[in-house]
Chain A
Amino acid sequence: MGMSFTDERDPLDLALVREVQDGLPLSHRPYAEIGARLGMAEQEVIRRLRALTESGDIRRLGVVVRHRELGYRANAMVVWDIPDERAGELGSLIGRQPFVNLCYRRPRRPPKWPYNLFCMIHGRTREGVLANLEELIERCGLCDIPHRVLFSRRRFKQRGARYGAAKQASAQTREGLPLQPNERYADRTDR
């Protein structure tokens, strides 16, 4: 996995990451505004963001949708117990399927947790997600691979990751909801 960004990167990049992690200002010159907060020129902000995008540290730059609010309420984490020597090959194949949203290899933790590959499938209905899963199994030749489907029941919290506490204006999420009490986060889903 290597060293993390924070250990070895330019402190100005890190400051920039912290400034943009909650999103860009929705204004005429967003990069200039970010720069003004950091004492950095607009062109410098743009140059650094471009470099972070080119290096793959920024995976994408744009509108981050909230799938659940848009009607994608069935959210399944599908986990697989794939022989280690096939994990790379099958992981890449699964990660390329159009309805798969994430595909990560993670360690097994036997005996409680034997699964080493995780993917997410979001859909409008549970039946739709299960149909996608059948298609995935068929297409990628996974019928002999043990798997489990973990649908989500309740969402207690969801927001973007924070890479440092630098930008904590208040005990509020970006959506403007209070962090506590927890009941305000919980929304019944799926069934």
Chain B
Amino acid sequence: MVAQRESALNRPLSGLERRLLNDFQDGLPLSPAPFAEMAETLDVSEAAVLKALSGLQNQGLISRVGPVFRPNRVGASTLAAMGVPEGRLEEVAALVSAYEEVNHNYEREHELNLWFVATAPDRERLDQVLAEIERRTGIEVIDLPMVEDYFINLGFPLQWA
């Protein structure tokens, strides 16, 4: 499955796909037929836009078309870090990933080597999840909730080198 997702880039992206990926990370029209409106901008049919977006989604190149919420404005979220002994990393990572509340989980190059983001309807549930992970693994979970958001850019600029 991973191999399938990795191979998606081995084919060249079409001009339409590139524009969809690059130019529509924000500003999806809030009108009854937003994809028809996008199609008009792109000078293609609505069916072509829908087909291209479905294709990109099925190949895992886009995760969705929809809103990105500002952290901690809707629900509560945090970044958490753990220093996991090398031999236990896969086991602990699997335990962490299994939580519905965990949306990102990465191994990183540091003594604190497992980093995950957890999101829940409220802080109380978040605390429960972190405490439970700590208890089940016996490894301290360092809780690093966002204090302030300085990010200005919208979307992710892509370059087609």
A interface residues with partner B (beta carbon < 8 Å): 1, 4-7, 17, 20-24, 26-32, 42, 46, 49-50, 52-53, 56-67, 69-72, 75, 77, 87-88, 91-92, 94-96, 98-107, 109, 112-113, 118, 122, 124, 148-165, 168, 174-175, 177, 179-187
Contact = CB atoms under 8 A, between A and B. Distances in A.
B153 to A, nearest CB: 7
Contacts of B60: 66, 69, 175
Contacts of A67: 156
B134 interface: no
Contacts of B145: 1, 106-107
Nearest to A7: B122
A165 B142 contact: no
A61 B67 contact: yes
B34 interface: yes
A100 B64 CA distance: 22
B108 A77 contact: yes
Contacts of B147: 1, 104-107
B81 A49 contact: no
Given A113-B112, A152-B108, 17 more contacts: A4-B74, A20-B66, A27-B50, A31-B32, A32-B32, A59-B67, A59-B68, A60-B26, A66-B60, A66-B61, A91-B150, A101-B156, A104-B151, A106-B144, A153-B106, A153-B107, A156-B93
Nearest to A55: B73
B122 A4 contact: yes
Chain B interface secondary structure, helix, strand, loop or mixed? mixed
Chain A interface secondary structure, helix, strand, loop or mixed? mixed
Interface in B45-74: 46, 50, 53-54, 56-57, 59-74
A6 B6 contact: no
Nearest to B70: A59
Interface string B11-50: 0000000001100111110111111100000000010001
B68 A60 contact: yes
Contacts of B87: none
Contacts of A149: 109
A166 to B, nearest CB: 10
29 contacts: A1-B72, A1-B146, A4-B76, A20-B66, A23-B65, A26-B57, A26-B65, A53-B67, A58-B69, A61-B27, A63-B56, A64-B63, A64-B68, A65-B62, A69-B9, A71-B9, A72-B156, A77-B108, A88-B148, A95-B153, A104-B146, A104-B149, A106-B147, A107-B147, A118-B144, A152-B107, A155-B107, A158-B106, A186-B90
A46 B112 contact: no
